[in-house]
């Protein structure tokens, strides 16, 4: 005899086949669905493309009542509802883009029980009218999509998400399922606490995306390096290029277009209609390159994004993982490429220094940046390091990242580091001056630049002691020391200063292992593109 759970399970499977047209569940979809159908709360962490949507859509169809989905992705709600409607699922949404008529229709359908799924913007739950509406209907479950938006550390933080703990207080009998693709254990704990989901069952999928090839290359002429990557390995492919600033988005899009690559810009400074049009084109046309700030991408479901390129350093490993995760949702080989240079470190450190928020907040930001820098500077498998960061035990070399495909040579850079730190130490006495990395390197290389002459720095004992390395290598040394916290930057001009741990290197109590810098600028092609 089948138990009630078995019956419901088979109902879920029937829905999967009949409505969605798939044969079998993926990963732990079935476990999540059973748990939620039975009325349990769940916290689901699955990488992008893992199949989170079915985890709440199927329970919403199986349980009596309407599944209420809270999502910050207002611009995508229409698309999501259209896609569901095409499958015969009765779906609607309520957000600020609806006119009064349309809103009334959706509300009436909800009250009449004529909906399976209702999508809501988080701010809607702050309105009494919406809460009262929900009170009058039957709710099957609450799904909280992109649940990491409740985390104040992430760049997707939405204050409205903090208020979502009220769902449990107001409707304690309705099961809740929170879903996200961002997932260090710290974020997970934060989500559980803030959403009052501490009693929820956690479902954590592997975050490995084996079809994505991770590559991080030294930044020289980033746009040219990017162009090389697109021409050599991704001609005609759709992809996303992330830049830090709006200006650099514009310039990069123009540069690519001028070089015969179909590219569109996307950033928050563009007109909403231009943004919407570019997004639509990117989704519907083939082979377009979207050049964007991180304002672009959350919730974008385009399976055949073949590459994600970063021209600037992401602020955290979480961000990097999420952005690169938009590549290859169809499971086919894809590239995650990042060009990173000394200037990135200086810039990011400065952003943190000048950021609003208290010391604890700035420390949090610095910790996140440090982890990102460690990923850039590593001589180990990038994928193992990434997965370890997300709490998955280390795997042996993955064979599909740059360090696995072309193991970087490392060298003992302790003496070079000492030379550099000594130079910084000598300059430290003129602290109110602007001596950034470039000036230090000029001194080490024995270059009589204008500034060197002006300050008489050619008479320093360290002048010209660094001729054994090329400029690019010295920049690598600075970058590495910054990444390791053995050196720091201060002030508006990126002045280099010693840190508490610099003395360990100067006193030979700590050695420094460096990645060998490649001879010439490359797009960092790692083996054959697969």
Binding site for Zn ion (CB under 5 A): 381, 383, 397-398, 401, 404
Binding residues for ligand ADP, how many (CB under 6 A)? 13
Residue tagged 């992809």 (tokens): 239
Alpha helix locations (H) across 211-290? 222-233, 246-258, 272-284
Say which entry of Zn ion, ligand ADP, none residue 398 contacts (CB below 5 to 8 A, set by partner kind). Zn ion
Q: How far is the CB of 405 from Zn ion (least distance, A)?
A: 8
| Among 42-50, 226-234, 266-274, 391-399, the segment contacting ligand ADP (CB under 6 A) | 42-50
Instruction: Output the CA torsion 401→404→408→409 (10° steps).
Output: 180
| Among 19-27, 309-317, 424-432, 448-456, the segment contacting ligand ADP (CB under 6 A) | 19-27
Query: Which residue number, 49 or 175, has a Cβ lying nearer to ligand ADP?
Result: 49
Would strands 495-498 and 487-490 be described as parallel, antiparallel, or unpaired? antiparallel
Say which entry of ligand ADP, Zn ion, none residue 463 contacts (CB below 5 to 8 A, set by partner kind). none
Say which entry of ligand ADP, Zn ion, none residue 423 contacts (CB below 5 to 8 A, set by partner kind). none
The answer to whether 215 and 335 have CB atoms below 8 angstroms apart is: yes
- CB-nearest residue to ligand ADP: 51
Half-sphere exposure of 48 (CA within 13 A, CB side): 25
Binding status of residue 142 toward ligand ADP by CB under 6 A: no
Near ligand ADP by CB under 6 A: residue from 40, 51, 137, 485: 51
Q: Cα dihedral sign for 485, 486, 490, 495?
A: negative
Query: Which residue number, 216 or 487, has a Cβ lying nearer to Zn ion?
Result: 216
Q: How many whole angstroms separate alpha carbon 393 and alpha carbon 389?
A: 9
Q: How many residues does the chain have?
A: 530
Near ligand ADP by CB under 6 A: residue from 34, 37, 48, 478: 48
Q: What are phi and psi of 304, to 5 degrees?
A: -105, 35
Binding mask 90-109 for ligand ADP (x = CB under 6 A): --------------------
Q: How far is the CB of 186 from Zn ion (least distance, A)?
A: 24
The answer to whether 98 and 169 have CB atoms below 8 angstroms apart is: no
Q: How far is the CB of 228 from ligand ADP (least distance, A)?
A: 30
Q: How far is the CB of 50 from ligand ADP (least distance, A)?
A: 4
Q: How far is the CB of 523 from ligand ADP (least distance, A)?
A: 28
| Among 50-58, 60-68, 286-294, 368-376, the segment contacting ligand ADP (CB under 6 A) | 50-58
Say which entry of ligand ADP, Zn ion, none residue 401 contacts (CB below 5 to 8 A, set by partner kind). Zn ion
Of residues 444, 439, 384, 454, the one with CA closest to residue 419: 444
Q: How far is the CB of 369 from Zn ion (least distance, A)?
A: 22
Backbone dihedral region of 26: left (phi > 0), alpha (psi from -120 to 50 degrees) or beta?
beta
Query: Which residue number, 120 or 229, has a Cβ lying nearer to ligand ADP?
Result: 120
- DSSP state for residue 401 in the 8-state scheme: B
Binding status of residue 22 toward ligand ADP by CB under 6 A: yes
Binding status of residue 301 toward ligand ADP by CB under 6 A: yes
Would strands 334-340 and 212-218 be described as parallel, antiparallel, or unpaired? parallel
- Give Cα separations from 476 to 27, 217, 220, 417, 498 (angstroms): 42, 11, 12, 10, 17
| Residues of this chain, 54-83, that bind ligand ADP according to CB under 6 A | 54
> CB within 8 A of 120, min separation 6: which ones?
68, 69, 70, 71, 93, 94, 95, 130
Which strand (E) or helix (H) includes residue 142?
Answer: strand 139-144
| Residues of this chain, 332-371, that bind ligand ADP according to CB under 6 A | none
Say which entry of Zn ion, ligand ADP, none residue 436 contacts (CB below 5 to 8 A, set by partner kind). none
Near ligand ADP by CB under 6 A: residue from 9, 25, 313, 421: 25
Q: Strand pairing partners for 143?
A: 69, 177
- Residue ranges binding ligand ADP (CB under 6 A): 22, 25-26, 29, 46, 48-54, 301
């Amino acid at each position: 005899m089948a138990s009630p759970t078995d019956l419901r399970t088979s109902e879920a499977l029937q829905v999967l086949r009949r409505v969605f047209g798939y044969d079998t569940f993926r990963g732990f979809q079935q476990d999540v669905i059973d748990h939620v159908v039975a009325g349990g709360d769940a916290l689901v962490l699955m990488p992008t493309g893992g199949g989170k949507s079915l985890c709440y859509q199927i329970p919403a169809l199986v349980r009596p009542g309407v599944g209420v989905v809270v999502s910050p992705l207002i611009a995508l709600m229409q698309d999501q509802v259209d896609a569901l409607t095409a499958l015969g699922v009765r779906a609607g949404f309520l957000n600020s883009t609806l006119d009064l008529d349309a809103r009334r229709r959706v509300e009436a359908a909800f009250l009449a029980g004529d909906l399976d799924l209702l999508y809501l913007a988080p701010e809607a739950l702050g309105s009494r009218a919406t809460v009262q509406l929900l009170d009058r209907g039957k709710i099957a479950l609450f799904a909280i999509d992109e649940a990491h938006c409740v985390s104040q550390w992430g760049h997707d933080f939405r204050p409205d998400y903090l208020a979502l703990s009220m769902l449990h207080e107001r409707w304690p009998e309705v099961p809740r399922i929170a879903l996200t693709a961002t997932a260090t254990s710290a974020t997970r704990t934060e989500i559980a606490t803030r959403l009052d989901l501490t009693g929820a069952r956690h479902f954590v999928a592997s975050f490995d995306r084996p079809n994505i090839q991770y590559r991080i290359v030294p930044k020289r002429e980033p746009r040219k390096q990017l162009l090389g990557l697109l021409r050599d390995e991704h001609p005609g492919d759709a992809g996303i290029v992330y830049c830090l600033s709006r200006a650099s988005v514009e310039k990069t899009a123009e540069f690519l277009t001028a070089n015969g690559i179909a590219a569109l810009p996307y950033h928050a400074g563009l007109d909403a209609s231009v943004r919407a049009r570019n997004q639509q084109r990117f989704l519907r046309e083939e082979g377009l390159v979207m050049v964007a700030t991180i304002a672009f991408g959350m919730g974008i479901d385009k399976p055949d994004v073949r590459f994600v390129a970063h021209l600037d350093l992401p602020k955290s490993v979480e961000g990097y993982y999420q952005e690169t995760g938009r590549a290859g949702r169809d499971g086919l080989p894809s590239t995650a490429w990042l060009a990173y240079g000394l200037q990135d470190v200086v810039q990011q450190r400065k952003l943190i220094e000048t950021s609003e928020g208290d010391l604890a907040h700035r420390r949090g930001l610095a910790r996140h940046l440090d982890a990102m820098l460690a990923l850039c500077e590593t001589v180990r498998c990038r994928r193992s390091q990434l997965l370890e960061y997300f709490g998955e035990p280390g795997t042996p070399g993955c064979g599909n990242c740059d360090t696995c495909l072309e193991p970087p040579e490392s060298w003992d850079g302790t003496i070079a580091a000492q030379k550099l730190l000594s130079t910084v130490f000598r300059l430290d006495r003129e602290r109110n001056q602007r001596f950034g990395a470039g000036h230090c390197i000029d001194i080490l290389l024995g270059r009589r630049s204008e500034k060197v002459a002006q300050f008489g720095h050619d008479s320093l004992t360290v002048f010209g002691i660094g001729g054994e390395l090329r400029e690019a290598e010295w920049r690598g040394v600075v970058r590495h020391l910054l990444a390791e916290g053995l050196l720091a930057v201060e002030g508006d001009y990126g002045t280099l200063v010693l840190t508490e741990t610099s003395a360990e290197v100067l006193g030979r109590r700590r050695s420094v292992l460096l990645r060998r810098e490649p001879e010439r600028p490359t797009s960092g092609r790692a083996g054959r593109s697969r």
